[in-house]
Amino acid sequence: MSHLNGLSPASSKASSEASLQRVKNLPGYTTPVFKGKEEQRANVQADVAAKGFIPRELVANEVNWFYSQLGIDDTYFQNESPSVISDHIIALFGAKVLAYTKHDLNKLVIDLERIDEKGNGATFIHTSLPGLTSTEGPGATCESRIDSLYLDNSTPSNCYRLETFRSTGSISATASQQLRCYFITKCNFPSPPPPSTRTDGLTDIRTVSDTAFLEKASPHTLEVYQKIIWQVESRYGPVMEVFEVEGTRERRLVIGYKMGGTSRFFSALSNLYHFYQLYSARKYVEQFSNGITIISLYLNPMPNSTGAPIEHSIFQVMKEASLLYCLPDNPFFLDSVNSGHAVQEATYAYCGWVFAQHFCNRLGPAYLHLKNILDESNPLHAEVLNNIKRRFREETFTRESIAQVIHAHAEIIHLLYVNFAMVHYPAADEASQLGPTLSYQRLQTTQPLSDSELYDKIRRTVLNKQDLQVLESFLIFNKHILKTNFYQPTKVALSFRLAPEFLPEIEYPNKPFGMFIVIGNEFRGFHIRFRDVARGGIRIVMSRNKENYSINQRMLFDENYGLAATQSLKNKDIPEGGAKGTILPSLGAPPRRCFEKYIDAIIDLLIPSRNSGTNERHVDLYGKQELLFFGPDEGTADMMDWAALHARDRGAETWWKSFTTGKSAELLGGIPHDTYGMTSLSIRQYVLGIYKQLGLREKDITKVQTGGPDGDLGSNEILLSSDKTIAIIDGSGVLADPAGINREELIRLAKRRLTVAHFDKTKLSKDGYLVKVEEQDVRLPSGEIVLDGTDFRNGAHFRFKADLFVPCGGRPEAVNISNVAALTDTEGKPHFKYIVEGANLFFTQQARLHLEKRKIVLFKDSSTNKGGVTSSSLEVLAGLALTTQEYLDLMIFKDGKPSEFYQKYVKEIQEKISENAAAEFHCIWREHARLQGAKPRTQISDELSTRLNNLQAELEFSDLFDDVPSRRGVMRRAIPATLVDQVGLDALLERLPETYQRALFSSWVASHYISTNTVSTAPV
């Protein structure tokens, strides 16, 4: 607790003097005086009288009161027509009459609005008590409507500026409410923009501003916004500044961020400052044509406030606004009236809620007992276990039931938050001591409990077992957080680096080395790695509908774990262990935005000590530098360039080049798998190995393929092979021809990366056909009617028979223990003789074993398709080994052409892929023959991977690495000669991080030792 106790009142005050920016007590905007106001008033009075709803003797008084006593800004009168104003006055009078009949003038509700039908803007006016969030009436929904209608989907070509004022007068002599007026107008950016007056290359605010804003903004406001714009341009997250108004207690909070960076933020900010008993006199939202939004709040303390003084609370508002930016519609803060949760506590509750959804132990002792009784190698038993596991996950703890527990135990959640904050609250330094004051004070008012004391209190307080389990999961969450960006002010999503020891062995038998959980407003994501130095793709999991999203949400971590574990098996003979990241966007959320926030939030925890763009430290209980290597996967292939460049912008000078693989070759020196057929080269070695071992001629082989000519694996499989392909199934449909699909036409599609839907049907034989997913009631040459093209496509891999099946695409677990029997005919004869699994996880483990029992020669994914990981590993090595200048010179194309070094390096990678794949094929084939088929190849492949990984782990920290001559000898062989010749071995050993060198050393020694011996050979 020492890092929290270091803040004295004196140092706090000194810090406030140093960090506060003062402005003169002048309006930030000038409201043009409406010269036609009196003439308009006369016209309005005549119109009100003519409409006849208000008694004539009261008309002049009502109009005068509306124009002179309410304190409505001239902007309103200038924007509205006399007819609209007269309607508003009549509506106001009617509301007063209604309130009178209820004998309570404080029930007076005014709700006036005008929305322009052509989309040019809107006006909203309603009654409002200062400093309170309305829970009923128009004020309860007005700002959230403004968010959804005008602010959330802003783009430079379609955006709105907003001005909102509180009237200075009350709505009547007997009612205390004031009027809140919102004026929304569509931005008008001059085209072409005015020329810049700057000579330093920085953005000139006058060239990107709306014309109305330039007319109204004071010189000082232009200066402040100019600086905010520059800061926003230089970072990914929000920028926040506080200004003290001289001679008053007013504080102005200015927030800048990139359009689309958050949603429902404007309305959430009102809830935030109301929580601290502040009210806003004026608020502005300005948009700029370079894609930047700036919100400005003029905040004052409520009269007779019992909250903290605004001089302190404003900094807490600023700090918590950064959390709101990440989670603006957090249900645990929206309920703060009942729960009393501040934003920090509510955000913690939200993160714990997400954690509990994934990690409450949902299986329990009953499942474990059943698992011990049943035989998982028996397909029927395995199916029963899978169904029970799925049912447990669906029914034990739902999102709703966990949320109810959190709402019901606000005091316990508060204690759990304090337990978290006592560890992870950053120690104040001289430059930022005032910022944490209120958080610090809140923590001081609660006696912090030790983990055991807190556990005892939860156990004594919570009697319901399920409630207890949910709250215990929060304590587990706290105990396993090694670092987090929770308290950093510029984040765009929340990230936590977790120690994975809490994962139950019954569900996750192989313990990961490390894991991250990332939580954003429109997504959640994980990253799991099985060794310190590890690499794997980042996958975006898209959902078709609400039900599908719910399933994806439940299964996200398990899918991530399975993919990372498979990657670990596949990465057995490269330095990097297996890793994988998954991102689940909410329905309708832009996938790219989710990816960018995910990357930025993880980088927050990779950059040591201080984050780029902020002076705020995070508490690092891990205490070591971490290197993560990301690659492309489903939905992220075109995002790797951005991630690498963003890492460089964030200050990752030494590792931005290796941070992602799959970068574009020409711009960033990446080595694309598809262009050079990297993954297909390894798959091909297994196909050729089968042909060679069994004496088969490729031209005589019939083949079925999933994954079409539009994909990486599918296109290269077509281009590299010369077999008789009888069926191809891809996302667009099913192409089949028992006579063999016309190879020239297939090659045309593969070279142009087109789906089978583009196949020229005139090239089909009389028995051939193409069924597209959008088609219905299609008659096949056999006379069979296909009712629905999508359903036909989804099950097409079960209907064809051929010698060889090569899945090059498709969803994980497409063939599982429940449907694998469909790959055999009524007599039990398999549809295929040989299967080379190119697509990841196309078969479940039980399905593979089931097929091998039926004498199918099957090679699983973790052995066959590792060519891509080998290529990516050597792309990482180049990024780590070359300086930035060398990388620019050697890896990035000049005039669209690769350097000689790049071409030689790619050729060496291709040779290494073929060599590694052939060596592993022969190792598995040899072991299977030695055991006379007693052990399936699937099991041999897994044992080979496990043996290699275990041997690598032993070697990595053995004294063999410390023997310098041995180490140099291994490194000279392990690093491609092209790189050694270019840089020199001594320079390479100086540049490569020691953790990476150990991993490279151990992987080379282990793979060469095993490949020259049998899988079961004991290590020496």
Closest CA to 413 of 321, 361, 478, 360: 478
b/e for 360-396, b at 16 or more Cβ within 10 A? bbbbeeebeeeeeeeeeeebebbeebbebbeebbeee
Give me the amino acid identity at 488: Q
| Residue 52 backbone zone (phi > 0: left; psi -120 to 50: alpha; other: beta) | left
| Residue 154 near residue 259, CB atoms below 8 Å | yes
Residue 841 three-state SS? coil
- How far is residue 880's CA from residue 657's CA, in Å, rounded to a whole number? 7
Measured CA to CA in angstroms, residue 377 lies from 83, 384, 401, 927, 941 at distances of 80, 12, 35, 21, 17
CA nearest 152: which of 264, 255, 258? 264
Burial label for 758, CB within 10 Å (0-12, 13-18, 19+), is middle
Choose the catalytic residue: 491, 580, 772, 866.
Answer: 580
Distance CA 868, CA 916 (A): 12
The answer to whether residues 289 and 226 touch, using CB atoms and an 8 Å cutoff, is no
891 vs 906: CA distance, rounded Å? 10
**What distance in Å separates the CA atoms of residue 100 and residue 106, rounded to the nearest whole number?**
10
Neighbours of 890 (CB within 10 A): 20
The partner residues of 682 in beta bridges, in order of sequence, read none
Q: E strands of 635-755, at which residues?
A: 702-706, 724-730, 733-736
What does the angle CA 123 – CA 124 – CA 127 come to, to the nearest 5 degrees? 150
- Contacts of residue 251, Cβ cutoff 8 Å, sequence gap at least 6: 242, 243, 244, 245, 299, 300, 310, 314
In sequence order, the β-bridge partners of residue 610 are 617
Q: What DSSP character marks residue 761? A: G
Q: For residue 560, what are its two tokens?
A: 């991530």
Confirm if 703 and 806 have CB atoms less than 8 A apart: yes
Catalytic residue check, 580? yes
Burial of 9 (0-12, 13-18, 19+ CB in 10 A): exposed
How distant, in Å, are the alpha carbons of 292, 845, 847, 849 from that of 858? 55, 12, 11, 9
Q: How many residues does the chain have?
A: 1020
In angstroms, the CA 300 to CA 509 distance is 56
Return the structure tokens found at 179: 């009027």
Q: Whole-angstrom Cα distance, residue 436 to residue 312?
A: 9
The letter for the amino acid at 968 is R
CB contact at 8 A, 491 and 485: yes
CA quadruple 800, 805, 809, 810: dihedral sign: positive
Beta-ladder partners of 514? 529
Active site residues: 580
